[in-house]
Each structure stands twice: as C-alpha cells, then as structure tokens.
Amino acid sequence: MRKLVAFEPASLDLTSQAAGATRELHASRPSRHLQPGDECLQLFGGYCYMMECPLPRRRADARVQRVSSTPSCGRPTGQAAKERGSDMNEQNREENVVQWRVESGVGHIVLNRPEAANALDSACGHALVEAIGQARRGAGTEVRAVLISSRGKQFCAGGDIREFVERRHDLDQLVRAMLDGLHPAIHALATLPVPVVSAVQGPLGGAGISLALCADLVLASPAMKLRGGYSAIGLSPDLGASYYLARRAGAARAKHILMTNRPVSADDCLRWGLVDELHGADELLPAATALACELAQGATASLGGIKALCDSAFDHDLRTHLELEREALLRCAVSAQGREGVSAFVEKRAPDFASRRPD
C-alpha cells in the first residue's frame, strides 16, 4: 500500500517554526470544535476536518494547498504526483477514485482516493454513483453480495471540504447537484436485494458514516473512529448519516454524536451497535471478504427476505410484519434454493444455493 508522508509522523522533518505553530494552535484553541484528536490524522478536509488534525497546522495547510491544486480524481499528472513526495509509488497508482469489480459473486466498491482521506468531491461522487449503478444492475445475478471498502488509513472523511470552500458562494448549488446523484444512489445501495458488507479500516466522518453504515453488516478495525463533523462547520447530515446513526444506536446517541462532534471509538461503536464486528487491522479485509463470499453463496430469497424484514421492523406493526414474513417464507419455500436447502439437509451435505436459480 502506498503511503503519504503526512500519515507518518515519525518521518516528519519538523522545523522549529512548525513545532512552534503546533504549540500556538493548541494553546489558543477557543472551543472544543478545534480540539485536536488524540491519535487520528486527517489533513485533507472532509466534514470531520478539524478534530483530526494533530500535525502542525502550517505544514498541513501547505499540504492542503498542494493537494487541492491537483485534479481531484483520476490519474494525477506526473508533475502533480511528484509534488506529493518521493514515497508515492506511481506504478501502483490505480486509475479510478472509486473502483468496481466482481469476484466470486461479490461486487467490490472501493474508495480509492487515499491521498484525500477518501473525501467525496463531485468527481468522486459521480464515480460512486456509477459503481452503485453497476452493483444494482448485477444484483441477484452475477452480484450476490457487495463489499464496500477503501484504501489508505482513513475510511472516508465525508464531503470534500475543499470543494465546499471553493464553492462557498453558491454552496447550495453544489449541495443540490451532489445530492441529486448521491441520495438516489445511497438509497439504491441500502436497498439492494443482496447483502452488503462494509470494512471500515480507519476514521470516518460526515457522509463517510453513511457509506459505512448503509451496509447490512459493518466490520471495523480498532483504528476506526467515527466523528460527525457536520455541525462544526454549520451544516447538517446527508446521505442518510442521521438515519443510520439513529436507527443503529438510537436517536439520543445519534444527537450526541452529531451535536458534539466528539469522536466515538471503535469499542463504543461496537457497544452501541454502530459496528457489528471488530477485527485486527490485518484481519479486517480478509474477514470482510470471507463474510461477503459466504453470503454470496447463500440463498437469494432467504437473505433478501431477512434484509427487507429486519429493515422494516420499525415501519409497521406486528400484524403487518407477520403478513410480510409469511409472504417471504412462501417465496423461499417454492424456490429452487429453498428446496435445495431442505434437500441438502436430508442428504447430509452442505447446500449448494449458488448454482440454483434464485427464482
């Protein structure tokens, strides 16, 4: 994995001027909104920008300027890449800011903008909408489960604050344009008829919360840390962030997270139901991939039924729910996959759902 100097404090050649700037910043912070995080780094904007910024401001600011002058997505020009530092291995550079591929029935959506903490600018948003469209079109046929992950140390910092700054005089136009694409896409992703898993390897904030938590099953590493960020810059949640936080952890905890902008540790996320499993940093992606593969081998109507039923359990009363359970079970009972499940039992073998038509 490619690394950026900015993510390696040990290698920073701090001038005494920069060290002084850090002390200055820490000494003068006027409110909690500006308190630096304890360990986590975020240098490139996104809704959770300020808390995640323990490195010297001047150096960080310089980086922001340099990075923001490069194209926000796609392959950087050789010159821009060079400007980022000699540790970037150009030959490993992937083409797209959001990647899509299908392997063993699992559709992989990979955020690939690690140099900007996978923040979503307009171009990245377009690429994400496109990847979700691919998942939607393949769902239930070649795509039987989806895995959302990202490259780099941060999962996703949320909306790209640099673009917000550039467009601050017609911010509503930018918001409108982005959400016109991303809101239908996130709805499509959340309601795919196949299981969706996310692997959260590091900090996330703003709309990054939505992208992680719209999955049915959220796996994370201890390095993940969730921070709202919206209210620190006077904005409000998007892409369903408030929906997922409230539905998973309750309205009160969601308000606490989004109003105070305090970072929530991986342990608290697990405790509160924001995350479903924690895995060591090295085991996270293998575990998430294995889980997605296992689900891709499952029975389509069974898993799709479970998903729809659980997601709607608060949306109607018990009587309606029982009727929906009955309909779903009858669909399974007459499906080739349901017959296979019962036959496999009597024949004392593992069921082979994947080779049966899902009906």
* Minimum separation from the CB atom of position 155 to a second copy (A): 17
* Minimum separation from the CB atom of position 103 to a second copy (A): 17
* Minimum separation from the CB atom of position 284 to a second copy (A): 16
Q: How many helices (H) and strands (E) in the chain?
A: 14, 9
Q: Which is nearer to a second copy, 112 or 300 (CB)?
A: 300
| Helix/strand/coil for 207 | helix
Q: Which is nearer to a second copy, 155 or 353 (CB)?
A: 353
* Minimum separation from the CB atom of position 92 to a second copy (A): 32
Rule CB under 8 A: which of 6-25 touch a second copy? none
80 binds a second copy (CB under 8 A): no
343 binds a second copy (CB under 8 A): yes
344 binds a second copy (CB under 8 A): yes
62 binds a second copy (CB under 8 A): no
* Minimum separation from the CB atom of position 182 to a second copy (A): 9
Q: Which member of 1, 10, 30, 86 binds a second copy (CB under 8 A)?
A: 30
Rule CB under 8 A: which of 99-138 touch a second copy? none
Q: Compute the distance between CA of residue 131 and CA of residue 111 in angstroms, rounded to an integer.
A: 10
Q: Compute the distance between CA of residue 45 and CA of residue 332 in angstroms, rounded to an integer.
A: 47
Binding residues with a second copy: total (CB under 8 A): 112
Q: Which member of 10, 78, 319, 357 binds a second copy (CB under 8 A)?
A: 319
Q: Compute the distance between CA of residue 42 and CA of residue 149 in angstroms, rounded to an integer.
A: 18
Q: Which member of 81, 134, 183, 193 binds a second copy (CB under 8 A)?
A: 183
Residue in this structure with the two tokens 């109507």, named with its chain if needed: 301
Q: Which two tokens stand for residue 156?
A: 């996703």
Q: Which member of 113, 164, 263, 269 binds a second copy (CB under 8 A)?
A: 164
* Minimum separation from the CB atom of position 205 to a second copy (A): 14
238 binds a second copy (CB under 8 A): yes
Q: In what order do the strands lie in the sheet with 264-265?
A: 204-205, 225-227, 264-265
The DSSP result for 250-303, as a single string, is -HHHHHHHHHH---EEHHHHHHHTS-SEE--TTTHHHHHHHHHHHHHTS-HHHH
Q: Which member of 195, 202, 205, 208 binds a second copy (CB under 8 A)?
A: 195
Contact segment (CB under 8 A) with a second copy among 6-14, 96-104, 109-117, 233-241 equals: 233-241
Contact segment (CB under 8 A) with a second copy among 36-44, 79-87, 129-137, 309-317 equals: 309-317
Pairing of strands 196-200, 204-205: unpaired
73-111 in b/e form (b: 16+ CB < 10 A) is beebeeeebeebeeebeeeeeeebbbbbebeebbbbbbb
Rule CB under 8 A: which of 271-290 touch a second copy? 272-273, 276-277
249 binds a second copy (CB under 8 A): yes
Q: Which two tokens stand for residue 338?
A: 């349901």
Q: Which member of 18, 102, 177, 233 binds a second copy (CB under 8 A)?
A: 233
Other residues' Cβ atoms within 10 Å of the Cβ of residue 45 = 25
Beta-carbon contacts of residue 232 (< 8 Å; ≥ 6 apart): 33, 47, 48, 49, 50, 51, 261
Task: Please state at what angle helix 336-346 crosses helix 300-311, rounded to 10 degrees.
Answer: 110
* Minimum separation from the CB atom of position 41 to a second copy (A): 17
Q: Compute the distance between CA of residue 215 and CA of residue 218 in angstroms, rounded to an integer.
A: 6
Q: Compute the distance between CA of residue 334 and CA of residue 227 in angstroms, rounded to an integer.
A: 46
43 binds a second copy (CB under 8 A): no
Q: Which is nearer to a second copy, 22 or 112 (CB)?
A: 22
Q: Which member of 41, 161, 209, 284 binds a second copy (CB under 8 A)?
A: 161
